[in-house]
Structure 1
Amino acid sequence: MASPTSDTPLCISGIYPHLALFNGPDEGECGIGAIVPWAGKLWAITYGPHFPHGSPDKLWAIDKDLRLEARPESVGGTPACRMVHRESSQLFIGPYAIHSSGAVRTIDITKLAGRQTAVARHLTDPANLVYYFDMEGAVYEVNVHSLSVTKLPFGNMAPGIHGKGAYTGQGRFIIANNGEAGEPVPGHEDDMGVLAEWNGAEWRIIERKQFTDVTGPGGINGAPRCNSPVWSIGWDRRSVILKLLDAGTWHTFRLPKGNRTYDHRGGWYTEWPRIREVTGGKFLMDMHALFYDFPGTFSAGNTAGITPIASHHRYIPDFCGWNGRLVLASDDTSIMQNPMAGRSQSNLWFGAWDDLASFGPRNGYGGVWVNDAVRAGIPSDPYLINGFDHRVIHLWHDAAAPVTFTIEADAAGSGAWRTHIEVAVPARGSSWHMLPESLRAQWVRVRAGRDCTAGAFLHCQSRRPRNEHERRIFDAIPDAGDACRTVAGIIRPGADKELQYVRQAAGEPGRYCELDEALAFSSPAGDRSDEVMRLAPVTRDFDIDDASVIMTASGRRFRLPKGHAAFDKPFAAGWPRGIRECESERYLANIHGTFYVIGRESGVPAIQPVATHNKQIMDYCTWRGLLVMSGTRPGARPDGHYFGDGACGLWFGQIDDVWKLGKPVGTGGPWRNTPVLAARPSDPYLMIGYDSKSLEVSHDAPHAVTFNVEVDVIGTGSDWLPYATLTV
């Protein structure tokens, strides 16, 4: 981290607080929709959620000295598109055309009326026209010289309600849509969103799934050759989907999901997964909370090289390389359904490619089949296993006779498939197979030996590389067992871009403070403590018993491991905060010494652990792109993460610093000296995200008791598979 000087602005964990971007005081979110290095500057656009006719959002320019400028040509809206038009030497970013000289022009948004999500090269006149695609599904032609706009008369050319990416390649204009309205149609529950193409004469649906980005080796510059491959990413209830168009044929591949916070029928929680060339010729892919090193050579004849880098909690609409650094955009603090924040805001993260490995572990989950009708001998889609240390596949079916599943592997990504193993699964039964470390392959696929309804689902995990000193950045926050009185309190991003802080040191009266972008504390004349406490009240959000932590959602109980015993009772300043939205539409949960991630839609049933801290963290939020935490040691001294005077201070970092607190650990279970009834299942107990697990079973009956251990490998709570039978 860099301390501020006359030449170097303040930087904490790659975040420059002065570069925080805000829009109007009432806009539900302030996502950074696109970032592009161009004309000697880094250009960025922000968006609010539903503004097809403009808004207070801006076109921003950042120069090499990190000076921020809001451009006077700004008209706002909900844009997230960008493309470099080679022939006219212009960057099209949102409704703006920026010449290589730096001159900015604005397209008339009364004619380009929509939430622009993609710009693509024109099929027949690429030197003079570009396509704009908007979230509502409309397509426009824009003249790159006059900026005149023509809306094309396509009507409802493809289903979907949430347009995303678009790209031109191999003689077709391809669009992605990741949302669907209304309730699922029986028999067509998987029909959500679309990947579709137009050849200049007619539209064709490629697949009815939720797709986001469409791109290729040329990225935002467009296809380098007429036969260059095209890539698109999406997802369904099974896993992430990667589509490849090569030599006119579409191919399908599947990859794990890092977590399920992005899943939603309407597609609202995916802002905006991308594949993009960044630094040193490397392509970065970000999808469902996992970063991948994506090979620019990915094609039908060479599918090798996709390698997971890390999981993350940051909500990332775009990324790029600039001046030798990797830059990640964000959709950070949102006020949508979130009164704990007073103003929507986001910021950029600056770092290096190698820094990404210090984010979360390379963990992912997904399958090729989830209760799908499969035909005997027909192979599944390929599923990525390259780059994960531990891979286990769960298999099940409903046939009245045993089924043999053949697992095949493609070692080199050349399409040469070899049988790895055959797994016999009993009638209406299940089994699992640990893929050995000796199986060094890019992809696996599965064949069933008979027609049936089947599942084939994988859990892939890797240990996160740890630096023995990385946890020291949290030294200002006392451990759970430390006897010191913490300087704690409630924090809230204020409506005037300030950070509000109500200090609640034990045995002392409360103190209201505010912080500015320089992280300087002040005591304003007006005490707004009551406002903070009313809008950001602390709730415990969990219960405990002798067995474990209990969380309740929709009338169902879920159990989590316990941390340090100090969390069984409140701190001197009260109970620490339980759940809080820190990235737009997803939550951090501070439960009994462990941080978890929870999706707004997927909720507690899909909760996943992030890190076990066992520290006296009282409150936390995001502000100016920084993660802020209260609960510090008295007398703490500034160290690049702690700012304050010892009597009143806070900890600052970035959201993915939390992984450095420690891997998820804990103890507990569904029962501990608990009266139970025969055959009645226990509450579900969390096991996903923990790198090692053990189970101890005991009872007080005077005779042997058989325990049936079941696992929910999908995470829906509807498909419990037998794992083991223990007689004690």
Structure 2
Amino acid sequence: MRKFLFLVLSTIFYLPNSFAQFPQVSGVYPHLAQFNQEGECGTGAVVFWAGKLWTISYGPHLPFGSSDRLYEINPDLSRTVRPESVGGTHANRMIHRESNQLFIGNHVIDSKGNVRTINPLQMPGRLTGMARSLTDPANKILYAAMEEGFYEVDVHTLEVTMLFKDGNQIRKEAGGGTHESTLLPGVHGKGFYSGQGVYVYSNNGESGAKALVDPTIEAGSLSEWNGKEWKLIRRMQFVEVTGPGGIYGNQNPDSDPIWATGWDNRSAMVGVRANGTWSFYRVPKASNSYDGAHGWNTEWPRIRNVGSIREKDYLMTLHGMFWRFPEGFSPQTSAGLRPRSSYLKIIGDFERWGDQLVFGTDDATKSEFLSNRPDKAGIPGAGQSQSNLWFTDLSMPDRIGPIDATGSIYLRDSVSAAIPSEPFLFAGWKNRTAWIKNHSNQPVSLIIEVDEQGDGKWKVLKTVELAPASGSSLVFSPTERGEWIRVKTTTNAVLSFSLSYSDPKNKNQENPSLFDGFRSATEDRPEGSVMYALGKHRRLGILSESGNYYEMDSLLQIKSVANDSLRQWMSQTLSIPKPLIRVEGNSYLVTDANGGTWRLPLGESIYTDLMEKQQIRLVREVVTERDLLHLGGTFFELPAENAGGYAKIKPISTHSLLMQDVASYRGMLLISGADPSYSGDHAHILKSEDGKISLWAGMVDDLWKLGKPKGKGGPWTQSQVAEGDISDPYLFGGYDQRRLTLVNHGTEKLAIRVEIDPTGSGDWFGYQTIEVLPGKAFDHAFPESITGKWVRFFALGSGHVSTELTYE
């Protein structure tokens, strides 16, 4: 045991040597990029062991091995691709205390760095989780696969015993057909852990055509196995399953809690098993890009200790938010779960190494899965799937994006009288608004309660009365404290109860000097270029507007290359398409794949000209399965259509610079259009050897530093409206200092009802009714406490009106 403790301490506190020999931007080292020959290349696991960093990559559906690799990274960041690699779609990792071995993918690594490998044919499946044995923990370890293959492995001999046959093996033996197992509900297994006499297994996906388009259907499951029979705990999408022991397993398996994370269309979720009983707690979502009933958009939420053995500090990643997770989280000690900041990267795993955090990511794919929307006009993904690692300091999770988040306790749900809802996180934000709607045809009385200390003791905060088919908003003051909030009704009802939270935290992390090297949008435009991550030689292809072709390598050197075939292919395939988004009235009008219309704030007029002349790319995938929209000088996170699409869009930052194309390459975000004549010494500006073109290099979360989101416009401009007319939804969430000017151009008094959709789920709530005299304007500043996703306007009479919103 003393030997084991020394090894663990030396692994956690080992300080890496200088990495100066390798180029890097924003903590991404291009030479560490991972590639495969598959449709996706994510990072499944990151573990420090035996003085080295070990990582595995994965492809999309490869239960019998693949071109993915096991990587051994030295303290100086030199890297070895291990010859024992067998690949697969694996994200499992566990350190076995008694034998001092790391189990990662199909590989077993001893304390000296020697690697043994289990043949994938002996243990087929997409390995997704591991658990300590409940019956022989010193000598056995259990594996779980996505299609519900379960195996017991001898840690000494690596002998494999199949407990449940994997769905892929069943399909193979049947000569084809579905790869799904029928053992448990769901088709996309994720987490696996043991304790309290059971093995717990999570699943976050569903099959079928509807799962590919509707994120609201029932999907996934959480189940447990006592060694004799399986028990379904909950039908819902679940991902991580772990406990205080993390990748070592719980030290006190009989008494330590087991944690699980997941989500549904209402909110994200944290579950805890304590004393043999499961309890569930809802938390808001910072991003909806992870939604999707198929479960593919979530690679791979984790809870992991990034502190030390003695001073533990649990970091949770869930739905685009870094969270501080309390070490003793249980129903009696649930206080302390807090949002830290939001992020855009897709994170597969993370680990602490000395005074750094290292994140494994999922960056660029060949196939682009379900993110290939019409407004990209068939622009292909990367020539070769690729991802990388992201090195940061320990404080980074507290200072990326804002902590604004939304979620629902109920969403048009049937509610039984006197039955309390599940708790919803209430602490951690300055501004908190509840949006409540009674969909019933009878009055409803709501009792709102809070758990002030996180000890499971509830007290009444306030009571709300709702008339039939009516809604209300409720702004909570800073003095209304509590860790958790819940609601119950005095009668049966159909109810929506949504919460939207915002906070100034992380909204002032701007550092626009990071983007020095771009000209202002009002200056003469330098020569731009389009970019493509090539498969051949793993380089970046760059085609300038004048037709010159360049390539960039892993050393970030850009050289002119004579390659007419690639030059012609890029010219034909990667040219910037005609925009499907257009300016109409005083806003950008978007029509999504389902025919829904949405309006977004306008930027400076110069961007409209650039867009119409096809000199600025609007939409491109820069991290797997979600897009970056660059519209009017504002960058937006744009979920795939199957995860909500434009209804769940989120602004990131606004600028006034000339930027043309964006691309993902070796884990970096690249932006073309930088000024070749820029003479400053800037680590993010890369110039070609001939000095004719220039690129900006960083990573996608640098965009938060560009400048807070701004814009102006509105859905009605000099519009003739009739009683009952409703405007298109206009984006409201993610902005601050919001002002409304409502102008009545007519000759009669006009009343307009302002409505808010807090989550983008299509539930509209009345915010305020405004009466405007003829020929007059009404100005209104929205209080910072009012948060939501979309705003729209409902005409209570006929008239001639304009609605202009300014976000500063």
Q: TM-score range by the shorter chain?
A: over 0.9
Look up the match of 1:118: 129
| 1:338-396 CA distance string (max 9 Å, x none) | 61421110011111231223311001110111111112222111111222121111111
CA distance in 2, matches of 1:366, 1:128: 44
Counterpart amino acid of residue 562 in structure 2 = A
Cα distance, 1:469 vs structure 2: 6.6
- Is 2:619 the counterpart of 1:579? yes
CA distance in 2, matches of 1:7, 1:368: 50
CA distance in 1, matches of 2:19, 2:468: 73
Look up the match of 2:191: 165
Look up the match of 1:259: 287
Provide the secondary structure at the position in 1 that maps to 2:190: strand
Cα distance, 1:536 vs structure 2: 2.2
Cα distance, 1:7 vs structure 2: 4.8
Look up the match of 2:303: 275
Counterpart amino acid of residue 355 in structure 2 = G
Counterpart amino acid of residue 617 in structure 2 = R
Look up the match of 1:521: 558
Q: Aligned Cα RMSD in Å?
A: 2.0
Change in Cα spacing, 1:45 to 1:153, as seen in structure 2 (3 Å) is: closer
- Is 2:484 the counterpart of 1:440? no
State the TM-score, normalized to the length of structure 1.
0.95
Look up the match of 1:235: 263
Cα distance, 1:6 vs structure 2: 9.0
Look up the match of 1:599: 639
| 1:473-526 CA distance string (max 9 Å, x none) | 101112323x1332321111111211111122xxxx332111001111111121
Cα distance, 1:574 vs structure 2: 4.1
Change in Cα spacing, 1:708 to 1:101, as seen in structure 2 (3 Å) is: same
CA distance in 1, matches of 2:240, 2:204: 10
Cα pair 2:402 2:507 within 8 Å, conserved: no
Look up the match of 2:246: 219
Cα distance, 1:418 vs structure 2: 2.1
Cα pair 2:364 2:664 within 8 Å, conserved: yes
Look up the match of 1:20: 33
CA distance in 1, matches of 2:733, 2:709: 10
- Is 2:359 the counterpart of 1:328? yes
The one of 742, 748, 766 aligned to 1:722: 766
Provide the secondary structure at the position in 1 that maps to 2:741: coil
**Equivalences for residues 493-512 of structure 1 within 5 A:** 493-496=533-536, 497-504=538-545, 509-512=546-549
| 1:395-445 CA distance string (max 9 Å, x none) | 111233332222222222112222222222222110011111222321111
Structure 2 unmatched ranges of 5 or more = 1-16, 166-180, 373-379, 773-808
Look up the match of 1:78: 89
The one of 547, 562, 565 aligned to 2:605: 565
Cα distance, 1:290 vs structure 2: 0.8
**Equivalences for residues 602-641 of structure 1 within 5 A:** 602-637=644-679, 638-641=681-684
Cα pair 1:385 1:460 within 8 Å, conserved: no
Look up the match of 1:696: 741
Look up the match of 1:195: 222
Cα distance, 1:694 vs structure 2: 2.4
Cα distance, 1:721 vs structure 2: 2.3
State the TM-score, normalized to the length of structure 2.
0.86
Look up the match of 2:583: 544
Higher mean C-alpha deviation, range 651-660 or range 488-497: 488-497
Provide the secondary structure at the position in 2 that maps to 1:659: helix
Cα pair 1:340 1:536 within 8 Å, conserved: no
CA distance in 1, matches of 2:300, 2:624: 12
| 1:99-145 CA distance string (max 9 Å, x none) | 11111000011111111001111121111211111011111111111
CA distance in 2, matches of 1:15, 1:541: 34
Change in Cα spacing, 1:163 to 1:231, as seen in structure 2 (3 Å) is: same
Look up the match of 2:67: 56
Counterpart amino acid of residue 455 in structure 1 = S
CA distance in 1, matches of 2:438, 2:217: 20
Cα distance, 1:318 vs structure 2: 0.7
Counterpart amino acid of residue 547 in structure 1 = N
Cα pair 1:340 1:535 within 8 Å, conserved: no
The one of 344, 347, 367 aligned to 1:316: 347
Provide the secondary structure at the position in 1 that maps to 2:606: helix
**Equivalences for residues 406-445 of structure 1 within 5 A:** 406-445=447-486
The one of 613, 623, 643 aligned to 2:686: 643
Change in Cα spacing, 1:6 to 1:387, as seen in structure 2 (3 Å) is: closer
| 1:32-72 CA distance string (max 9 Å, x none) | 00000001100000001011111110000111000111000
| 1:513-553 CA distance string (max 9 Å, x none) | 11001111111121322222333231334100231011111
Q: Flag the structure with higher helix content.
A: 2
CA distance in 2, matches of 1:603, 1:184: 16
Provide the secondary structure at the position in 2 that maps to 1:531: helix
Provide the secondary structure at the position in 1 that maps to 2:395: helix
Cα distance, 1:626 vs structure 2: 0.6
Cα pair 1:190 1:208 within 8 Å, conserved: no
Cα pair 1:485 1:572 within 8 Å, conserved: no
Counterpart amino acid of residue 510 in structure 1 = G
CA distance in 1, matches of 2:155, 2:732: 54
CA distance in 2, matches of 1:679, 1:572: 34
Higher mean C-alpha deviation, range 390-399 or range 228-237: 390-399
Provide the secondary structure at the position in 1 that maps to 2:627: strand
**Equivalences for residues 121-132 of structure 1 within 5 A:** 121-132=132-143
Change in Cα spacing, 1:197 to 1:523, as seen in structure 2 (3 Å) is: same
The one of 614, 629, 638 aligned to 1:589: 629
Cα pair 1:116 1:134 within 8 Å, conserved: yes
CA distance in 2, matches of 1:269, 1:322: 27
Provide the secondary structure at the position in 2 that maps to 1:695: strand
CA distance in 1, matches of 2:611, 2:329: 53
